[in-house]
Amino acid sequence: MTYEIKGGNLPVLILHMEAGEQAVCDGGAMSWMDDGIEMHTEGGSFGRVMGRLFTNESLFQNRYVAQRPGEIAFASKFPGSIVPVQITPEHSIIVQKGAFLASVGNVTSGVYFQKRFAGGLFGGEGFILTQISGSGMAFLEIDGSAIEYQLMPGQRKILDTGYLAMMDATCSMDVETVKGAKNIFLGGEGLFNTVITGPGKIVVQSLPLYKTAAALSSYLTVAKSD
């Protein structure tokens, strides 16, 4: 199987499948496909279905099986990027809720619970994230542009709320209070920052969806009042 990502800031993932190859996606993610590719809807165990509910994924997943060579496409739901990540038994990743787009191979997604209370309560990413593991390739939806960093052991990256899209499972997440009363009340950055500590790779995103929604909401409010 080969793949290509087209569309610039409005990306679409196109998988070129041979007979017998398979791809998995959340329900509703498929955009178009060739004749000869069959869909099978799967739920899995009750625990797995409930886990997808808490991670903003659809309750059921669709498995597409190619009966003959053809292509299938998965378009991003929001302007941004599609990032491919190689998953191995030694390399699992933690991603923001709703980031999973599609996968090939023996890849599974499940619930990841924040181990640090402060990180889940104040870090902006929530207590529940998505862990992707197994063996194969996962494709992630990123809000805006994706910027990657490789953190060394003990190296830290400080992020504003909502900017973390992905981190290796070897990384840890915590929060840090913004220092200085003037910075807190006048700086406009809020009270807490998310702190990611290596070792491992992280992917940050330039256009968190909630910030875009807040900006559009202010314009819509002004337009409505006019």
Within 13 A of 200's CA, how many CA atoms are on the CB side? 18
Q: How many domains does the chain have?
A: 1
CATH number at residue 175: 3.60.160.10
Q: Both tokens of residue 64?
A: 């597409």
Q: Where are the alpha helices (DSSP H) in the chain?
A: 46-54, 117-122, 181-186, 209-225
pLDDT in tens, 70-108: 999 999 888 899 999 999 999 999 998 888 999 999 998
Report if pTM > 0.85: no
Question: What single DSSP character describes residue 78?
Answer: S
Domain region containing 105: 2-215
The answer to whether position 118 is within a domain reads: yes
The answer to whether position 221 is within a domain reads: no
Q: Are 190 and 219 in contact (CB under 8 A)?
A: no
The one-letter amino acid at 32: W
Within 13 A of 214's CA, how many CA atoms are on the CB side? 6
The one-letter amino acid at 69: P
Question: Residue 20: its pLDDT value, please?
Answer: 95
The answer to whether position 222 is within a domain reads: no
Better pLDDT: 107 or 26: 107
The answer to whether position 16 is within a domain reads: yes
